[in-house]
Every structure is written in C-alpha cells, then in structure tokens.
Amino acid sequence: MSTNNHIPINRPPRPPKPPRPHPSIAALSTFISNLPQNAGAQPPPLPSKLRYDVYGPLLLLPPTSPLASPPWSTYISSLPLQYQLDLYKALAESLNVTHIAINSPIPSKSVDNQNQIRAPQITPIYGSFGPLDSVEFEKVFWTSTVQHGVFQTWCPLHTMFSRGNITEKARVHDLVDRQLGMLRKRDKGGMRVGAVDLFVGIGYFAFSYLKAGVDVVYGWDINPWSIEGCRRGALGNKWRVRVGSSTTDSGDRDGVGVERSEEEERLVIFAESNEYAPTRLRRIKEDAEQRGKKWVHIMHVNLGLLPTSAGAYETALEVLGLNDGDGEAWVHVHENVAKEDADGMKSDIEKRFGELAGKVWDPEGFEVGVEVEHVEFVKSWAPGVWHCVFDVKVSWRRIIISSTGSLSGEGEG
C-alpha cells in the first residue's frame, strides 16, 4: 500500500501586471524623458488620462483637457517652439492623427452680436489648417466622422460639430423610421413625404431624416461653409443634392432650375435666411402642380438653433400650412432651459404655437391642435442648463358646415 507523501507547494499569487499607459500618455512620457536638461522648466506630473475627441485626422482637445489648462498648458508654452512642435507631433502620431486643435465653447452671442452663423472657436496648435480668412473651400483643412452609419464632413475653422447631438440624431431617425413604416402600410398610393430643416448646418438632423427614408429634405443656412459641408456630406452618403442660390438684393429668387428639379434630389439646400422658406416652398409647390405633379407632405420641421429657436416658430407653422387637406406634422423645437423650468417652457411653447397657428389656419375654417408630445434632454449646455428638444405635434382639420348648420370634419358623414 503506497502513501502519497508529496507536500503541496503553495505559490504566492503573481502580482498583477501594471496597466499599460494610454498611447497618448506613453508618448508624453517618452517625449519628456528625451528632453535635454536645459529644455526649460520642470515638467508637471503626467496626467492619468487625456480628454479629447478624434474626428478622422483631427484631434480636438476641450478647454478642460490637461494639455489645454494649467499646469501643462503653462509648461508647454515655456518650451522653445521646436520642442512644442515635437511634443504635438509625438501626440499626433500616438493617436494616428495629423491635426490638433483646442476647442472652446461657442458663445451664445458674440461681443459685437455678429456671430449669427455660430462660427466655431478653435485654436489650431498642430498641422496646417489653411488661412483663416480664406474663402476657397479647397484651401482649408476638412475633417469627417461617421455616426450611426451616416457620413458627415466639415471645416473646423468655420463650422461647429457637436458630439453631444449623437443621441438626438438617432432618436429623430428612429421616430421618423417608425412613422414612415406605419404610413406606408396605410397609404398604398405612395404619398411622398418631406422634411424641412430651417437651420440645416452640415446636415446634423437632415441626414437623419434622409436615412430614415424621407423622400426629400429642404434645408436653409446662411453659413457657406456649413452649406458646403452639407453638400459634401450628402454626396458622401450617395444622396443626390443641389444647392440653391441666395436671395438677390432686389428680393427676387434665382435658381429656378433648383425648384424645377427638386424631385430628382433627396436634399435641396438654400443659401439664404430661412424667413424666405414659406415663399420658396410655395413656389416649388405651385411649379410642381402646374406640371401635374403632386407635392410632398411636409411631416417634420426641425428648428435646431441654440440658445433659442423661438424666432422661427411662425415660419415653421407657415411651412406646415402649405400642406393640402387634413393632416398632422411635428416641429422639433431646440431650446436651452434650466431643468426645473422645462415644464414651464413646454406650456409656453404650446401656448405660443397655438396663438401662431391662428395666423396660419383660419380659425373659422380649421380646427387646429397643438401638443408637446415629448421633451428630450439632449445634453448639458452649462451648469444647470440643458439643451432640450420639444416635439410639437400640430394637427389640422378643415371644418365643414352642413346644410343643417352642424359642424363636422372634412370627410365625415
């Protein structure tokens, strides 16, 4: 009978391997270790991580990033220029980018009240961005990104891009996708559906409508750089697009070819103030009807201007007033509001839209309903302030007075 006399050996557990530093932190560490002793002041301790966004070849540092604020910003500024460039080159290579810039919040109003196009506030620190005063699209740096399968491109010197809008883009897409699915089941005649974006920018929300299946989107913007980015983005998504001309000094509209060919394009952009949207769309509708074509039903209007889009409420309703017959549509109202004031703003928006609707639809001939169906808290804008979207449902029904004097909706017995 054998006996196992082996005594088990209890090995101490291996210590965990130290976590590998992020490539960007490793690049900073290597740069500092290779600096000559006479390069400048003593470097600050390495940050544990960097805050940044990468869009294609662009690294964008927020103003709160360790490299964009003291003590690191002070240290970097104290280095000779060549060493500064070497640091940024090492950082760029570690993240596989070619350009670096520091971002700053866009003021709601500039000092001279002239920032109507909401131009971005960035400080290029590495890479060639092109001349700031250039008016030629090909002479400046462009970047791009893909969100939810949608390609977008823009010029960082002249156009803003907000990563925080990604959830709202997805929400709008899913909402429209569901609505169109139900509509197609009910409407076997193939009604064409359109959307209007009165602040189209580079296509933030216009592209969500198009991806969801809207037949055509009409957009307005006054920033030529945003319009070019929107045009390039549409082409990158393989959507036919055309840009209309601006309003002339005489008040006439040129670009009639755009109006006549709108059925061929998924996106039509007008380089003019959105105050002309109702007149422009009315001409497109009349032109289509003269050619025996049925115009689209505008189901969604987007008002994506912050801090408030209140100045476009009436324009949005005037656009919806171009629809034929009874119907319903949604206006997506973007506003900045304190969270505790959101319910009050919801009531104010319903009241204001109700008042303005009486100017668009004759109260004696139409029954109009206005309701904020949903309030979406998109992102924090400032301490205590939120970027919110109010989904305003607007429905209208023609009132028919029968021979007996009773009232009924159009189409009822």
Domain limit, last residue, from 74, 107, 126: 126
User: Does residue 109 have a pLDDT over 50?
Assistant: no
Domain limit, last residue, from 74, 105, 126: 126
Q: Beta strand 267-271 with 53-55: parallel, antiparallel or unpaired?
A: unpaired
Listed as own residue / partner, the contacts of 81-90 with beta carbons closer than 8 Å and 24 or more positions apart are 83/35, 83/39, 83/40, 85/126, 86/31, 87/28, 87/31, 88/125, 88/126, 89/126, 90/27, 90/28, 90/30, 90/31
Based on the fold, state whether residues 401 and 356 are members of the same structural domain: yes
The predicted pLDDT at position 240 comes to 96
For the whole model, what pTM was predicted?
0.85
User: Does residue 394 have a pLDDT over 60?
Assistant: yes
Q: How far apart are the first and last CA of the chain?
A: 103
The residue-averaged pLDDT of 69-80 equals 92
Based on the fold, state whether residues 381 and 330 are members of the same structural domain: yes
User: Does residue 115 have a pLDDT over 50?
Assistant: no
Based on the fold, state whether residues 60 and 104 are members of the same structural domain: yes
- Window from 14-18, 59-63, 115-119, 164-168 with minimum mean pLDDT: 115-119
The residue-averaged pLDDT of 277-296 equals 92
The set of residues, in sequence order, having a beta carbon less than 8 Å from that of 118 and lying 6+ positions away, is 106, 160, 223
Phi, psi angle pair for 275, to nearest 5°: -65, -20
Based on the fold, state whether residues 206 and 263 are members of the same structural domain: yes
d(CA 76, CA 13): 43
Beta bridge partners of 375: 390
**Domain extent for 403:** 155-409
CA 119 to chain centre: 14
The predicted pLDDT at position 401 comes to 60
CA 64, 67, 71, 77 torsion-angle sign = negative
Based on the fold, state whether residues 169 and 91 are members of the same structural domain: no
- Window from 14-28, 79-93, 282-296, 379-393 with minimum mean pLDDT: 14-28
The predicted pLDDT at position 116 comes to 52
| pLDDT tier at 382, thresholds 50, 70, 90 | confident
User: Does residue 78 have a pLDDT over 60?
Assistant: yes
Based on the fold, state whether residues 73 and 198 are members of the same structural domain: no
User: Does residue 254 have a pLDDT over 80?
Assistant: no
Domain limit, last residue, from 126, 146, 168: 126
Based on the fold, state whether residues 259 and 358 are members of the same structural domain: yes
User: Does residue 409 have a pLDDT over 70?
Assistant: no
% of the chain exceeding 70 in pLDDT: 85
Based on the fold, state whether residues 285 and 377 are members of the same structural domain: yes
Residue 134 maps to a domain: no
Listed as own residue / partner, the contacts of 114-118 with beta carbons closer than 8 Å and 24 or more positions apart are 116/222, 117/222, 117/223, 117/226, 118/160, 118/223
Total number of domains constituting the chain:
2
Based on the fold, state whether residues 258 and 118 are members of the same structural domain: no
Residue 150 maps to a domain: no
The predicted pLDDT at position 8 comes to 67
- Window from 31-40, 227-236, 370-379 with minimum mean pLDDT: 31-40
Per-residue pLDDT tens digits for 201-220: 999 999 999 999 999 999 99
Based on the fold, state whether residues 85 and 229 are members of the same structural domain: no
Q: Which one has a higher pLDDT value, 248 or 302?
A: 302
% of the chain exceeding 90 in pLDDT: 65
Tokens for 148?
Answer: 């939810």
Mean pLDDT of the chain: 86
User: Does residue 369 have a pLDDT over 60?
Assistant: yes
Residue 215 CB-half CA count within 13 A: 15
Based on the fold, state whether residues 101 and 187 are members of the same structural domain: no
Based on the fold, state whether residues 261 and 371 are members of the same structural domain: yes
CATH number of the domain to which 270 belongs: 3.40.50.150
